[in-house]
Amino acid sequence: MNCPSTPAGERNKKPITEALHPVFSSSTGDVLEIGAGLGQHAAAFAIAFPELNFWPTDPSSYHRASIDSWQQTLALPNLQPARSLDLRSANWHTKIAKAVHGKKFSAIICINVLHISPFAATEGLLFHAGALLKPGGLLYVYGPFKLNGTHTAPSNNDFDIYLRKRNPEWGLRDISSLKKIAGSGGFCLTQVKHMPANNLSLFFTVI
Ligand SMILES: C[S@@+](CC[C@H](N)C(=O)[O-])C[C@H]1O[C@@H](n2cnc3c(N)ncnc32)[C@H](O)[C@@H]1O
């Protein structure tokens, strides 16, 4: 397979698929992926969960081309063409709702995005994702996070410093601040699952 991928994505796609399995294996409908990057997760999920229809998005045209190369190479019927979505845009949710003709998603997934984007992207996700989900729908967020102001591992502290040097608006987010915003956005944090390499899976459910 010559489609673009990252070593980290190759390593984490199996544990993430396993984390999603309890919900996704018994779900049908549509799943929106935000910040889908090169598309390797979207392709893996489309194969693992054939009853679900995946809508990958990314603000980068380079990444969208990569996502579409996975779709074209694997000819997956349940992987839609990549769309542009920037969480910092005030109307990202209304644009997506229009693009899918108002249909509601069973789940929204966002993997390794919130620490590599300004905090406005985190706010945009948690304030507006609920409007796109069916009642009881899932918002799944994966990545490294702080717990009550503390890093969960020294390597996460180093990573946070590295990110903030690259861009002062980037950095690991704290779960307590995510929970507050999620509450305003109509979500409840229903599960926190520890993942390999000091990452976490966060499961938010529409209240
Ligand atoms: C580290 S990559 C993760 C890609 C993929 N989810 C993965 O885990 O391999 C971060 C992704 O977030 C996207 N991104 C950055 N800022 C964003 C924003 N404001 N809204 C949506 N996506 C964003 C980037 O374009 C990039 O594809």
Find, among 89, 93, 33, the residue nearest to 64 by Cα.
Answer: 33
Find, among 85, 126, 132, 81, the residue nearest to 105 by Cα.
Answer: 132
Residue 88 Cα: closest atom of ligand 1: 19
Q: Is the CB of 60 under 6 A from ligand 1?
A: yes
Q: In angstroms, rounded to a whole number, what is the distance separating the alpha carbons of residues 9 and 20?
A: 15
Q: In angstroms, rounded to a whole number, what is the distance separating the alpha carbons of residues 140 and 145?
A: 14
Q: Is the CB of 113 under 6 A from ligand 1?
A: yes
Give buried/exposed letters for 46-75 (b at 16+ CB in 10 A, else e).
bebbeebbbbbbbbbeebbebbbbbbeebe
Q: Does 72 score more than 80 pLDDT?
A: yes
The pLDDT of residue 168:
98
Distance 121 CA to ligand 1 centre (A): 10
Q: What is the pLDDT of residues 89-126, one digit of tens each?
A: 999 999 999 999 999 999 999 999 999 999 999 999 99
Find, among 44, 60, 54, 49, the residue nearest to 11 by Cα.
Answer: 44
9, containing H or E segment: helix 7-24
Strand partners, 71: none
**Is-contact 207 129, C-beta < 8 A?**
no
Going by pLDDT thresholds of 50, 70 and 90, the confidence category of residue 159 is: very high
Across 165-185, average pLDDT: 96
Q: Is the CB of 37 under 6 A from ligand 1?
A: yes
Residue 92 Cα: closest atom of ligand 1: 20
Least trusted range by pLDDT, from 1-5, 34-38, 84-88, 200-204: 1-5
Distance 104 CA to ligand 1 centre (A): 22
- Return the CATH superfamily for domain 7-114+122-206: Vaccinia Virus protein VP39 (3.40.50.150)
Distance 172 CA to ligand 1 centre (A): 14
Sequence-ordered alpha helix ranges (H) in 29-118: 40-48, 61-74, 92-99
* Residue-range domain boundaries for the chain: 7-114+122-206
**Number of neighbours of residue 203 by Cβ within 10 angstroms:** 20
Q: Does 163 score more than 80 pLDDT?
A: yes
Q: Which two tokens stand for residue 72?
A: 């074209």
Q: Does 2 score more than 90 pLDDT?
A: no
Q: Is the CB of 63 under 6 A from ligand 1?
A: yes
Q: Does 1 score more than 70 pLDDT?
A: no
Query: What DSSP line would sit under 159-178, residue for residue?
Result: HHHHHHHH-TT--PEEHHHH
Across 177-187, average pLDDT: 95
